[in-house]
A and B are shown apart, each in its own frame.
Chain A
Amino acid sequence: AQSVAQPEDQVNVAEGNPLTVKCTYSVSGNPYLFWYVQYPNRGLQFLLKYITGDNLVKGSYGFEAEFNKSQTSFHLKKPSALVSDSALYFCAVRGVNAGKSTFGDGTTLTVKP
């Protein structure tokens, strides 16, 4: 079985400050890891993914995430937050032989001016 935990329901940061949205996972074998963002009343937009290779993955809108195998984590980061980054963020994991992804419960990011 595969699972994802996003331990924080809400993350608040000031504009211009760095942000981190946490994600830990559990899966048999090597994981495929994904981050998505959802704005109100919209579908999910793909931000980035880790499949293999470099542990630091860069994605859309200046976001990046670091795969840490020993800590089974894939935290999403951005050096300088924007108010427009305020949204709901989902982490997802899929095992190499899994047909479907498992999504976390989501973390609401609020960036204040």
Chain B
Amino acid sequence: GAVVSQHPSWVICKSGTSVKIECRSLDFQATTMFWYRQFPKQSLMLMATSNEGSKATYEQGVEKDKFLINHASLTLSTLTVTSAHPEDSSFYICSARDGGPAETQYFGPGTRLLVL
């Protein structure tokens, strides 16, 4: 299957700092990328959907100025958590898809963020 990588896998930062998470599709072109947040023992919460070269579409309740998403190329998307606070601590997972709705979404391994 297709491979999606995420970096870093773990990050610990101080409150008020910004953190950037990278998501790469390694062997396919990701026309659409998705960013999810997952709390312990809970389902995935979709944060935003992005298409290459376009602005991301954020889900209701997700602050676009706090969670900056850039999808500058067909293989790379980044999520920047700006001015992180302890409540932003979570497991962030990216996902990528090549093509239309019938195509499979492939997921990255996730990034664990801890804000102190």
When the two chains form their complex, are residues A106 and B43 in contact, meaning their CB atoms are under 8 A apart? yes
List B residues 69-116 near A (Cβ within 8 Å). 91, 93, 95, 101-102, 104-110, 112
The closest CB in chain A to the CB of B93 belongs to A43
Q: Is the interface of B mostly helix, strand, loop or mixed?
A: strand
When the two chains form their complex, are residues A103 and B110 in contact, meaning their CB atoms are under 8 A apart? no
When the two chains form their complex, are residues A44 and B43 in contact, meaning their CB atoms are under 8 A apart? no
A14 at the interface (CB under 8 A from B): no
B42 at the interface (CB under 8 A from A): yes
| Distance to closest chain B CB from A58 (angstroms) | 15
A80 at the interface (CB under 8 A from B): no
Query: Which residues of A come within 8 Å of B, CB atoms?
Result: 32, 34, 36, 41-46, 49, 51, 90, 92, 94-101, 103-106, 108
5 A–B contacts from the bound complex (CB under 8 Å): A32-B101, A43-B107, A99-B32, A100-B49, A106-B42
Contact status of A43 and B104, CB under 8 A, knowing A100-B34, A100-B49, A103-B44: no
A97 cross-chain contacts in B, Cβ below 8 A: 101
B6 at the interface (CB under 8 A from A): yes
CB contact between B108 and one of A43, A46, A51 (< 8 Å): that residue: A43
When the two chains form their complex, are residues A42 and B110 in contact, meaning their CB atoms are under 8 A apart? yes
A34 cross-chain contacts in B, Cβ below 8 A: 104-105
A46 cross-chain contacts in B, Cβ below 8 A: 1, 104-107
CB contact between A94 and one of B41, B101, B107, B110 (< 8 Å): that residue: B101
- The CA of A105 and the CA of B38, in the complex, are separated in Å by 11
When the two chains form their complex, are residues B102 and A42 in contact, meaning their CB atoms are under 8 A apart? no
B13 at the interface (CB under 8 A from A): no
